[in-house]
Amino acid sequence: MTANDRFPQSLLQNPINVRKEYFYRKTIGHPRLEQAKQNALSFIDPSGEPDIMIVTGPTGVGKTTLAMKIQDQLLERNMVRMQSDKSHLPVIRIDAIPPEKEMKFDWSDFYTRLLQAFSEPCISQKQLFEDEIYMEQPISPVYAMNSLAALRRAVERTMKMRGSRTLIIDEANHLLMVDPKLMRRQFEIIKSLSQKCNVTIILIGTYDLLQILEQSAQLVRRGRVVHMARYDDYIPADKLAFKNALFTFQRHMPFKIEPELLKHLNVFYLKSAGCIGILKKWLDNAVKEGLNQELETIDLDFILQYAHSNKSIQTVLNEAFIGESKLKDIDVRELRFMLKAHHENLGKITTKENDINISPEADIVQEQLPKLPPDKKSVKGQVGKRNPKRDTTEMNYGLF
């Protein structure tokens, strides 16, 4: 960052609300964000088959900012076509809202919000036509009015008509707020939506999303994972990246006197768990209150008033550790050991099943023995078949 890379000094002449809005809207590019964005974009192939991608990381790492960056990049890629075709919308982004009462995700609300994001008219009047009702069997015409099936079909038609190839679902971990028995069904719905609409679906959320991959091998095959990790201050490159991010925020705090945050780098790291999203939200609150009080600058003691409690940060770190351990790969030797153990077990099971005092050649010896004719006493006549003997006739009486 250069010495001139800071907020414009003319901003100090503006009202407090303008200055607060300036810092609130300020986002920065940093290595974790840029790497996750590039990884996600590299998986999106407009000419390829629809796919499902999971972008995950700890709470407050900046996943929502990442979702916006991915959307902006995809819109920029398709700008030429969008200018020539005003109806074309290559990417759409929506938040998954958690269920209000029972552990049952509201797909009807989800489809409605998705249609609203497309500015689709007459959403409340969506219904299946007669031919579509038959295609959605079993379903009655009465039930089809304003039904979930009708909304789903409207989403499919809209995405195809608008040429959308990417659907970004932020806070996608809310999709999994269902009975554990229905977890796999949720993924099947998402997979079906991807195939029917011919879109790549990007699920962005916490490490809870990894539960999807634990359902079956098929889900592992279809799902791609992009990890946006927290910064680890035990890694020199991570510590430097976090320091640069903190300095950038410091330079853009619209106070007459620039705050000195870098002197307390370790404090800011610990109280944000190395997550830029948590850091930014914390600084947003401190800057807002500092401007409300018309302070010329803010110091560490003032900023700490708006920090998360140590207990809260502990929860964030515990969740991060669990998620990171789930994503950590195993050594290839473990796979070999697993296969070896399986075949050894299989051998033991086979031995137990065949543990009988019969030599392996017994069947062969029996096959080589001559087949003896059955005992005559045991032969019985068949129903409807006469025995081979002469019948008595009238001519027999006059022969002798």
pLDDT of the residue at 309? 96
Same domain, residue pair 196 and 57: yes
Confidence of residue 103 (pLDDT cuts 50, 70, 90): confident
Q: Domain boundary residue among 273, 293, 327?
A: 327
Q: Does residue 152 share a domain with residue 109?
A: yes
Q: Could you tell me if 137 and 169 are in contact, meaning their C-beta atoms sit under 8 angstroms apart?
A: no
Give pLDDT tens digits for 38-70.
Answer: 999 998 877 777 788 999 999 999 999 999 999
Q: Could you tell me if residue 198 is inside a domain?
A: yes
Q: Are 253 and 11 in contact (CB under 8 A)?
A: no
Give the strand order in the sheet containing 91-95: 91-95, 166-170, 200-205, 52-56, 223-227
146 and 245 share one domain? no
106's tokens: 């509201």
Q: Are 62 and 277 in contact (CB under 8 A)?
A: yes
Secondary-structure percent of the chain, ordered helix, strand, coil, rounded to 5: 55, 5, 35
Query: What local confidence, expressed as pLDDT, does residue 183 receive?
Result: 82
Domain that holds residue 276: 232-327
Mean pLDDT of the chain: 82
Q: Tokens at residue 275, please?
A: 């997550």
pLDDT(275) > 90: yes
Residue 133: inside a domain: yes
pLDDT of residue 130: 41
Read out DSSP for 41-60? Answer: HHH--TTS---EEEEE--TT
pLDDT of the residue at 140: 40
- Residue 156: inside a domain: yes
Tokens for 119, please give them: 């500015």
**Residue 137, pLDDT above cutoff 60:** no
Q: Are residues 137 and 209 in the same domain?
A: yes
Average pLDDT over residues 101-129: 74
Buried b (16+ CB within 10 A) or exposed e, 21-34: ebbeebeeebebbe
Q: 198 and 69, same structural domain?
A: yes
| Residue 94 shares a structural domain with residue 241 | no
Give 309-350 as a DSSP string: PHHHHHHHHHHHHHHHHHHPPPPHHHHHHHHHHHHHHHHHHH
Instruction: Return the structure tokens found at 103.
Output: 């552990």
- Tokens 């929860």: give the residue: 315
Name the residue among 158, 159, 93 with its Cα closest to residue 122.
158
* DSSP designation for 211: G
Which of the listed residues 207, 227, 247 is the one where a domain comes to its end? Answer: 227
Please tell me whether residues 214 and 87 are part of one structural domain: yes
- Distance, in Å, from the CA atom of 16 to the CA atom of 294, rounded to the nearest integer, reads 8
Structure tokens at 201: 């679906």
One-letter amino acid at 150 equals A
Question: 82 pLDDT band (50/70/90 cuts)?
Answer: very high
Q: Is residue 119 domain-shared with residue 262, that is, in the same domain?
A: no
What would the pLDDT profile of 204-247 be if each residue is shown by its tens digit? 999 999 888 776 665 666 668 999 999 999 999 999 999 999 99
Please, are residues 195 and 121 in contact by the beta-carbon 8 Å criterion? no
Would you state the pLDDT for residue 159?
Answer: 93
Contact 206, 170 (CB under 8 A): no
Both tokens of 373, joined, read 């004719």
Q: Is residue 395 one of the residues assigned to a domain?
A: no
Q: 76-90, 96-110, 153-167, 299-313: which has the minimum mean pLDDT?
A: 96-110
Element (H, E) at 148: helix 148-161
Position 126 pLDDT exceeds 50: no
**pLDDT score recorded for residue 127:** 45
103 lies in the same domain as 127:
yes
Residue pointed to by tokens 């001559």: 370
pTM of the model: 0.76
Indicate whether 91 and 223 sit together in one domain. yes
Same domain, 76 and 194: yes
The CATH number that applies at residue 100 is 3.40.50.300
Q: What's the pLDDT tens digit per position in 3-28? A: 458 899 999 999 999 999 999 999 99
In this predicted structure, what is the pLDDT of residue 334? 83
For the chain, what percent of residues have pLDDT higher than 90? 56
Cis peptide before 138 (omega within 30 of 0): yes
**pLDDT tens string 317-348:** 999 999 999 888 778 888 888 888 888 887 76
Hey, what are 110's tokens?
A: 């989800």
Q: Is residue 314 in a domain?
A: yes
Looking at the chain, the whole-number percentage of residues with pLDDT higher than 70 is 77
pLDDT at 389: 62
Q: What distance separates the 2 farthest-apart alpha carbons in the chain?
A: 150
Question: Where does a domain end: 195, 227, 259?
Answer: 227
Residue 128 has pLDDT above 80, yes or no: no
Number of domains in the chain: 2
Q: Across residues 68-84, what is the average pLDDT?
A: 93
CB proximity list for 231: less than 8 A, separation 6 or greater: 32, 238, 239, 241, 242, 269, 274, 275, 276
pLDDT tens digit string along 347-385?
Answer: 765 545 455 444 545 444 444 545 555 555 555 555 666
pLDDT value, residue 220? 62
Domain annotation covers residue 252: yes
Tell me, yes or no, whether 166 and 256 share the same domain: no
Q: Which residues contact 299 (CB under 8 A, 6 or more apart)?
A: 259, 260
Instruction: Answer yes or no: is 218 within a domain.
Output: yes
Q: Residue 45 domain-assigned?
A: yes
Q: Is there a contact between 176 and 211 (Cβ–Cβ < 8 Å)? A: yes
pLDDT of residue 394: 52
